[in-house]
Structure 1
Amino acid sequence: MCVGCRVRAARADLLRVVAVEGALLPDPDKRLPGRGAWLHHDLGCLEQAIRRRAFSRALRLGAMPDTSGLLRYLRGSIE
């Protein structure tokens, strides 16, 4: 389920995201260790997840993580 729009989708249609040292990293190969959150390859879903603080809850973090790396990755994959 996408943490942004809350729509169920196949694993192949979603991007796994993990938190490493307070920053969100994309995990396109779905192999990084740790708890992951799932997100559509869509900037709108990322914006919704940030607004709702969904990453903090899904990844069980105390504070909102840095999303700049994930934002750069999504912008690059869409263009």
Structure 2
Amino acid sequence: MVTAIVIPIICLYFFWLTKKEMREGYAKWRSLADVSEEAIISGEVVHLSESRQRYNYSRYVHVLELTVQTKGFKHSNIKKLLL
């Protein structure tokens, strides 16, 4: 009789806990797109690469990496995250 009451309560608790963690993970993943503009760089794009990286179980982030050559022949590496 006790197991008929306790086991469903335990299952519901873990279901609730999993849903809560999924909501928090989704909020963190969505907050990656909220980045303020920090600097402006002008120059010529020398190298461009794009990759897809896993953020969480079923969430991915597209990473765009640019190498920009400025007037002083200095190379700057820029990384942009896209959802």
Rg larger in structure: 2
The answer, yes or no, to whether TM exceeds 0.5 is: no
Which of the pair has the greater relative contact order for Cα pairs under 8 Å at 6+ separation? 1
TM-score range (shorter-chain normalised) is under 0.3
Query: TM (normalized to structure 1)?
Result: 0.21
More strand by share: 2
